[in-house]
Amino acid sequence: MLKKLQIKKHALTAISFMLPLVVASGLLIAIGNLTGGTVIENYKEAYSIPSALVSLGVLGMGLLAPVIAGAIAYSIADRPGIAPGLLMGLIANAIGAGFLGGMLGGFIVGYFVLFLKNRLKVPRWAEGLMPMMIIPLISSVVIGLLMFFVLGVPIVWATDGLTSFLTSMQGSMRFVFGAILGGMAAFDFGGPVNKVASLFADGLLLEGIYEPEAVKILASMVPPFGVAISWVLSKMLRKKRYTKSEEDNIKIAFPMGVCMITEGVIPIAAVDIVRVVASCTIGAAIGGGFSMMWGVGSPVPSGGMFIVPAMNHPLLFCLALLIGSLITGIMLFLWKKEPVEKIIEDAPEEEMDLSNIKINF
């Protein structure tokens, strides 16, 4: 169990390192594309500012596998793991293993570096060289050759197979895949299940598959939008569904949802966890299914409504988001019971009797 938690911790560290790079690179590509830029083929020839932005974003995306591997290795083995981890990520890029190869390489080299730190003994005069030369060199040689000649081939097969499977899906299969991914992304409002779905979508983005990113973005916005819709319905139809405190939380959660921040729903879900989680998950699953079935793709992995213009089908995305949010909102409105406000009455003040107090000198 402890080992499982450690692996999860290292993966989450990689996500925290990766996200700023993914967001910045994706936005650069989106801005460049929207202004007419293309990837620069020859840097010795003249090129425009939009093309420079697109190319910078593409270069940034190429760093994702090394950053993932380096971050995981750093989380496991501290600074001696950074250089070997980055090299494993570069190998993953070179052999076509991509995101999966970067993650696997990061874990393997990280634990190998940790093993060397704990077990490798050198003369006293060489101890200062251990973290900066000896350990990075040995681990890079051993795990690097392992990645090139042993582990790389099955990872490439797995990556190519997954990519081919996802690109070949049609109709109902696409809807089911989008529904599963959307439900996972909304299930725990930014928690571990959401992180798994997010990591999966970000990995496919590196392989040029943009549809899961759109599903992830949609599913992250459905819970706050759906809760806000249920509150609006309760006001319109004069059916109380939320306490004053919950209404104040909804007013905060909605603008957070516009920015793709789901965590604003957590205080509302904590009060009625089953109904809120079920409604949000079902709404996000259906909206995600439609988004995937309609082929909506996003080159940017984060940003909420602000990056919708960068999507290939922004209107269809908004329609899928509206469908998912309406389903969540209507379910919550019909399912939730009228809350009971807790009124704390002021207790009558008792008179203080000072007659029995004695002061001794």
**Packing angle, helices 314-335 and 273-293, rounded to 10:** 160
Q: What is the model's pLDDT at position 307?
A: 84
Q: What is the model's pLDDT at position 271?
A: 79
Mean pLDDT of 185-207: 78
Q: For the segment 73-91, what is each residue's pLDDT rounded down to a tens digit? A: 999 999 999 999 999 999 9
Alpha carbons 225 and 223: distance in angstroms, whole number? 6
At 333, the pLDDT band (50, 70, 90 cuts) reads very high
Q: For the segment 305-320, what is each residue's pLDDT rounded down to a tens digit? A: 888 988 999 999 999 9
Q: What is the model's pLDDT at position 361?
A: 46
Work out the widest C-alpha separation in the chain, in whole angstroms: 99
Residue 253 has pLDDT above 80, yes or no: yes
Q: For the segment 123-142, what is each residue's pLDDT rounded down to a tens digit? A: 888 878 888 899 999 999 99
Q: What is the model's pLDDT at position 343?
A: 46
Residue 342 has pLDDT above 60, yes or no: no
Q: For the segment 143-154, what is each residue's pLDDT rounded down to a tens digit? A: 999 999 988 888
Q: What is the model's pLDDT at position 347?
A: 45
CA–CA distance from 48 to each of 53, 109, 301 (Å)?
Answer: 9, 41, 25
Degrees to nearest 5, angle at CA 92 with 87 and 97: 170
Alpha carbons 205 and 251: distance in angstroms, whole number? 33
Do 86 and 66 contact (CB within 8 A), yes or no? yes
User: Under the phi-then-psi rule, with left for phi > 0, alpha for psi from -120 to 50, and beta for the rest, what region is 360?
Assistant: beta
User: Is the whole-model pTM more than 0.85?
Assistant: no
140 class by beta-carbon count within 10 Å (0-12 exposed, 13-18 middle, 19+ buried)? buried
Mean pLDDT of 322-346: 80
Do 316 and 221 contact (CB within 8 A), yes or no? no
73 Cβ partners below 8 Å, 6+ apart? 81, 82, 84, 85, 88, 106, 107, 109, 110, 113
With the C-alpha atoms ordered 303, 212, 231, 270, is the resulting torsion angle positive or negative? negative
Q: Tell me the HSE value of 78 on the side-chain side, using a 13 A CA sphere.
A: 8
